[in-house]
């Protein structure tokens, strides 16, 4: 009877130790899964923000291109007018 009791206690201790480490491992796995899901959400949010910024940047570039085209055209017109004024002044 004493031998059976010792075997039961030994098996109980082994099961308790295994349960402790298994429980600790499962908690760590849960923590990692939670961090991964948080990171995925963060990445999704950041990628959508990045896309919005890209669209805004493209819009700004197009706007600047149009303004530079207008500026270039205005400079050409002013250059022509200055040349004409110089000719008028020099002919008088």
pTM above 0.85, yes or no: no
Q: How far is residue 88's CA from residue 51's CA, in Å, rounded to a whole number?
A: 55
Give the residue numbers spanning the domain of 70: 1-92
Structural domains in the chain (count):
1
For residue 68, give both structure tokens: 């530079």
Per-residue pLDDT tens digits for 24-43: 999 999 999 999 888 888 88
- Whether the predicted pLDDT of 1 surpasses 70: no
Q: How far is residue 68's CA from residue 62's CA, in Å, rounded to a whole number?
A: 10
């Amino acid at each position: 009877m004493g031998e059976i009791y010792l075997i039961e206690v030994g098996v109980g201790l082994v099961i308790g130790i295994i349960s402790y480490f298994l429980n600790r491992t499962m908690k760590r796995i849960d923590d990692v899964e939670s961090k991964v899901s948080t990171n995925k959400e963060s990445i999704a949010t950041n990628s959508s923000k990045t896309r919005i910024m890209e669209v805004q940047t493209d819009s700004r570039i197009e706007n600047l291109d149009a303004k530079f085209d207008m500026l270039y055209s205005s400079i050409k017109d002013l250059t022509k007018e200055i040349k004409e004024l110089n000719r008028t002044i020099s002919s008088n």
